[in-house]
Amino acid sequence: MNIVLFSTYLFGGAGANAKAIVSKLNTAGLNTSLLYRFGNKSEDFEICTDRWYSQEKVQKAMSAGMKNLFYSTTSENAVNWENLHAAIPQKPDLFILLWYSQFLTTEQIVRLYETYGVPIVVYMSDNAIISGGCHFTLGCNRYNRGCGTCPQLESVKPDDISFKTLKQKKELFKNIPLHIIASSTWQQKLVEESQIPYRSIQKQMIGFPLKQISTDEIHQKFDSLKKFELLWSASFISEYRKGLPIFLDAIQDLDEHYPEYAKRIRVKLIGLDATKIRKELQFIEFQTVEFLASNEYEKEMRSAHFYINSTTDDAGPGTLMRAVHYGIIPISFPTGVASDIITSESGFLLKTFSYLDLSKSIRDAMDLSMEKLEDMSLKNLEIASNLLDEEKTFKEFTQKLVGIFKNHTILENTTS
C-alpha cells in the first residue's frame, strides 16, 4: 500500500507531526512519502514540490501573518499542478491531507482524485477543511453561516475569499470520496454539523511516547512548592486563535483584583514570540523561553504545576497532550481533545471562552490542598496511559487508513 501525505511545512507543530506520522507509517510497513513545500529535507521519504523556494521567501511568507498562513488557498499561493503531479510517487493508493493551507486549492484536491482515483483522507490538524479556509480565529462562527464578513481578511461577500472557497467545497466535494479523521469528539461534531460533503467521518487522536515520570517526582514537586508555575505555550503574538488575549486578560485580572493569588504564581512562556508577549505583562513573574531542544522542553514541562490551554479553536493541541503525559494539571477551554481527556478528577474544563472564567479556574486550582493537587497530577498519568499511548493510538489510526483503502477498493471493483 502506497500513501502520500501532504504538509505545507516541515517545521512547526504540524510539520513535526507530519514527519512523525510518515515515519511511523513506514515503520508499520505502509510505504509513505511526505510531500511538502517549505522546509529543509532530512529524510529520504520527504519530497519537495517547489525546489526554488528559498528560506528567505519562506520567512517572508511567514511574516505576512494570518492572512497568508491560515486562510483560503488560492491559485496564487498554491503549488503549481505540473510540479505537484511530477513530485507524486507512482501509483499512490491513498492521499492524506494533514496541512494543505498554501499548498492545495479545492480544485486541486478534486483533481487529485480525478487523476489517481484513490480515496482522500483528511487528518484534521486544523479545521480548514470544513470552512472557507480559516481556523475559526477569535472564536468566530461565521464559517458555519457561509463566511463573507471576515474581520481578518477585511472583505465582504460575494468578494470574500473564504465565502467563495466554502461555496466551492459544497459543490466540488460532492464528487470525490473525501474521508475525514478528526482528532477529538469536539472536532467530529464540527464536521457532522458542517456544510461540507464527505464520505465518512471517524475520530482518532494520536498520542505520544509515554515518558517515565515517577510518583516520587510528582510528590516532590508539590511538597516543595514555593510558587505555582503556570505553563503557557506561546506561538506568534498575532496568532489570536491560540487565545492569547484571553490569557493576558486573565493574568491582568489576577493582578488587579486578586493580588494575593498573583504574587503566588510564576508564568512560563515557551514559543517564538515569548519575549514580546512578556513585555505585555510587566507585573507578573515570568520565565520566557523562545526555543527549546526536546530534552530541554521535557525538563521545563516536568517542573510546571498547571498547563493553561486557552486556545479557542485547536484541533488536537499537542502541548496539552504532552502536559497530561507529564502529570501537569490542565486548565482548558473545551476545544480540541480537551473534553476527551480532562475530567473533574484531573483538571479544569471551562464552559465559556471568558477570561473571567479562566481567572477563576486558576484561583480555584490554587485553593486546593497539596494532597488534592498531587492526586490530580497522578490521575493525569493514568489518563495518559489509558488514552494517549502512542503505540495503541497509532495502531488504531493505521487500521482506519487500511479500512478506508479496502472499502474503496471493494466499492470500485463492485461498480466497475
Domains parsed from the chain with CATH numbers = 2-207+390-415 (3.40.50.2000), 215-387 (3.40.50.2000)
Q: Which three cell numbers mark 370?
A: 497539596
Q: What is the pLDDT of residue 90?
A: 81
Calpha distance 296→284 (Å, rounded): 23
Q: pLDDT digit string (tens) for 264-273?
A: 998 887 766 7
Q: Is the peptide bond before 158 cis (omega within 30 degrees of 0)?
A: yes
* Least confidently predicted of 164-178, 213-227, 299-313: 299-313
Convert 56-77 to b/e letters by CB count within 10 Å (16 or more is b).
eebeebbeeebeebbbbbeeeb
Q: What is the pLDDT of residue 17?
A: 87
Mean pLDDT of 166-190: 93
* Least confidently predicted of 49-63, 100-114, 273-287, 363-377: 49-63
Angle at 155 between CA 236 and CA 12, to 5 degrees: 20
Q: What is the pLDDT of residue 358?
A: 95
* Least confidently predicted of 118-127, 288-297, 364-373, 404-413: 288-297
Q: Which amino acid is at 150?
A: C
Is it the case that residue 25 has pLDDT exceeding 90?
yes
Calpha distance 369→26 (Å, rounded): 47
Q: Which three cell numbers mark 261?
A: 493569588
Residue with the bigger pLDDT between 61 and 272: it is 272
Give CA torsion, residues 22, 51, 72, 271, to 10 deg. Answer: 60
Residue with the bigger pLDDT between 345 and 212: it is 345
Mean pLDDT of 304-327: 83
Cβ proximity of 273 and 236 under 8 Å? yes
Is it the case that residue 134 has pLDDT exceeding 80?
no
Is it the case that residue 141 has pLDDT exceeding 50?
yes
Mean pLDDT of 203-230: 88
Contacts of 345 (CB under 8 A, 6+ apart): 375, 376, 379
pLDDT band at 65 (very low <50, low <70, confident <90, very high): very low
Pick from 118-132, 147-161, 255-269, 394-408 the range whose average pLDDT is largest: 394-408
pLDDT band at 66 (very low <50, low <70, confident <90, very high): very low
Q: What is the pLDDT of residue 61?
A: 55
Q: Is 394 helix (H, G, I), strand (E, B) or coil?
A: helix
What residues does 265 pair with on adjacent strands? 228
Give the E-state strand segments of 37-81 in sequence order.
Answer: 46-48
Q: Dihedral of CA 253/256/259/263: which sign?
A: positive
Model-level pTM? 0.87
* Least confidently predicted of 98-107, 225-234, 330-339, 407-416: 407-416
Phi, psi of 163 (to 5 degrees): -60, -45
Q: What is the pLDDT of residue 296?
A: 67
DSSP result, 187-213: HHHHHHTSS---SEEEE----BPPP--
pLDDT band at 210 (very low <50, low <70, confident <90, very high): confident
Q: Which three cell numbers mark 40?
A: 529543509
Calpha distance 304→415 (Å, rounded): 57
Mean pLDDT of 290-309: 76
Mean pLDDT of 371-377: 96
Calpha distance 198→177 (Å, rounded): 7
